[in-house]
Amino acid sequence: MVAFIGDISTLELQVQSVDLMKSKSGENRTEHHTDLYQSENCIIRRGQKFHILYTLSRPFNPNTDKLHLEFKTGPLPTVSKGTHVIIPLVEELKGNRWEAAIVSQTDKSIKLSVNSPASAVIGKYQVSVETSNSTKKSVFTHDSANDVYMLFNPWCKDDTVFMNSEDERNEYVLNEIGRIYYGTENQIGVRTWNYGQFDDGILAACIFVLEKSGTPPSGWGDPVNVVRIISAMINAPDDSGVVQGNWSGVYSDGNAPTVWSGSVEILKQYHKTSGKPVKYGQCWIFAGVFTTVLRCLGIPSRTVSNFSSAHDTDVSLTTDIYLDENLEPIEHLNADSVWNFHVWNDCWMARPDLPEGYGGWQAVDATPQETSQGTFRCGPASLAAVRNGQVYLKHDCPFVFAEVNSDKIYWMKNADGTFSQIYSEKKVVGHKISTKAVGSDERSDITHLYKHAEGTEEERIAVETACRYGSKAEAYSSPTAEDISVEVTMDGKDPNMGEDAELTITVQNSSSEQRNVFLHSQAAVMYYTGVHKATVRKDNTDLAMLVLEWSLKYEDYKGHLIDQAALMLTLSGRVSETQQVLATQFSFRLRTPDLIIKVSETP
């Protein structure tokens, strides 16, 4: 009997049970800021230690027994790719590497502290443990209920998504409710959006989105790569992504975009149907779902609305308007457009792939507008690069720059079929770029992060720098002397649907001489994306006066309105005495009646 006790370390050492300490109130979940996830899984963040408790078949003898952990992720786990990780048992943790150490031992139980590097691949890991002594080896693989979810870590200074401000982390990672802005710059509306990134099943759905992309998990440690994958996967083209876009106004075989009030139902439906695109979405839907996925995976993000948002289709970095000899728009050539508003996302990360100074907020967009490297996706584009016109820095800075700061160039057809640049507007794109403020429901204007103040020397230099890299670099012309300008304003209360819209056209003459202007006006019903639906009124006016009151009657537009009740007035004209060309566009929308709900008691 004594001899048997002395030889106990020669008995096979087996793992009988494992405790990942994964309860929401347990130390792993609370210390890793994952206690809000409505999930029973072990959810941890990379670059930070966590604990595992193993119960063994006999006491562990560090002199004769050996133990190591194995973490595997993806369909083909490979050591060299970082998707099959062998974690050795060490005497002391050094940090920022895969390692494990025994921190306490009680009879047959040992508690391990496990470290992961701040660059670890994120995703779902299968965990096993191998034990051995001088004579025998044993492998313990637990069931899928004990899989470990590894996320990005904005609390870890070594993680490229690290965010220093606790208030900002609370807003951009942990806040489940947001506000998305829409309308026009003069009539900004807001809708509440439930991101629901911690709802039951959402983390699994987000990992499914990554898996559905077919990209190798070995690349999922780089947030630049991950946001690019998700940007492509949120929209349906190319890869049967999460949301199918529809701007037609016909949604009978799905849900109208205005039906959705959050991301949870959309992501759950996509996961439940094994990747069938959900019908239907428009830009704010793509952006809302994108924010949910990014926050769920641990990348700080926010939903951003840009008013008078240009859609540049030919990488000219200008918004081009083509007119015929009579100054009428040539519709089939006018592929560029200016959306009343467009919603995309900012995400926060370092950019080690760019020169210093370009980390921080990055613009990403999941709305399928133009392809990037053959796929409908956009970003991450450094806001610092966009602001300074450094459009040669990846990814997709030219497109984002054009959205917020392109000049609108008017071209007139010549007798020989060529086009001449006749006018440019420099302050009509990229206004009141908005996001929800940190810690409140107020609107925060972040235009200054995307562009220098309009008309400043810095802003003009940024435009000239950017246009040098555009497909129409030669089209950029220096300003010429112009003494007549035209502006459209709307005074008083915004017009309601069913009422006449009253606008004021003001012509400013900065010369000391008489000027006469021939003015062509055209009112059109627009999709909020800037796409033309129907022309509802045209006028020609010989104008010697300085102010013209212009009215759009209800009779003109009734029967033509669509989702956002958006309208655009296009003015083009010529000064008789100097042949100077004038051109401008003014977007506005009609208000729907406010609905006031009163409850009889305290709800």
Which of 42, 156, 206, 283 does the annotation list as catalytic?
283
Active-site choice (271, 342, 452, 520): 342
Which H helix or E strand runs over 15? strand 15-19
342 flagged as catalytic: yes
Phi, psi (degrees; rounded to nearest 5) at 232: -75, -35
Catalytic residue check, 283 = yes
Distance CA 285, CA 264 (A): 12
Q: Known binder of ligand: residue 115?
A: no
Strands 278-281 and 243-245, sheet pairing: parallel
* Segments in 327-483 forming alpha helices (H): 383-387, 397-405, 447-450, 457-467
* Contact status, residue 123 vs residue 129, Cβ threshold 8 Å: no
Give the whole-angstrom CA distance, residue 139 versus residue 128: 7
| 529-to-95, 258, 429 alpha-carbon distances in Å | 49, 15, 13
Query: Is 405 a known ligand-binding residue?
Result: yes
Rg (CA), the chain: 30
| Residue 416 known to bind ligand | no
Q: Chain-centre distance of CA 253, in angstroms?
A: 27
Handedness of CA 116, 118, 120, 122 (dihedral sign): positive
**Of residues 147, 336, 365, 396, which has the active-site annotation?**
365
Q: Which helix (H) or strand (E) holds 244?
A: strand 243-245
Token pair of 572 as six digits: 């083009």
Give me the residue label for tokens 């790719």: 81
The two structure tokens encoding residue 374: 């053959």
Phi/psi for 319 (5° steps) reads -100, 115
Q: Is 459 annotated to bind ligand?
A: yes
Nearest to 317 by CA among 354, 370, 365, 358: 370
Q: How far apart are CA 104 and CA 110, in angstroms?
A: 6
Beta-carbon contacts of residue 527 (< 8 Å; ≥ 6 apart): 247, 533, 562, 563, 564, 566
> What is d(CA 249, CA 282) in angstroms, rounded to the nearest whole number?
11
**Contact at 8 Å (CB) between 567 and 523?**
yes
φ/ψ of residue 275, rounded to 5: 100, 30
Please indicate whether residue 365 is annotated as part of the active site: yes
Residues that constitute the known binding site: 405, 407, 454, 459
Q: Which residues are annotated as a binding site for Ca(2+)?
A: 405, 407, 454, 459
- Give the catalytic positions in this structure: 283, 342, 365
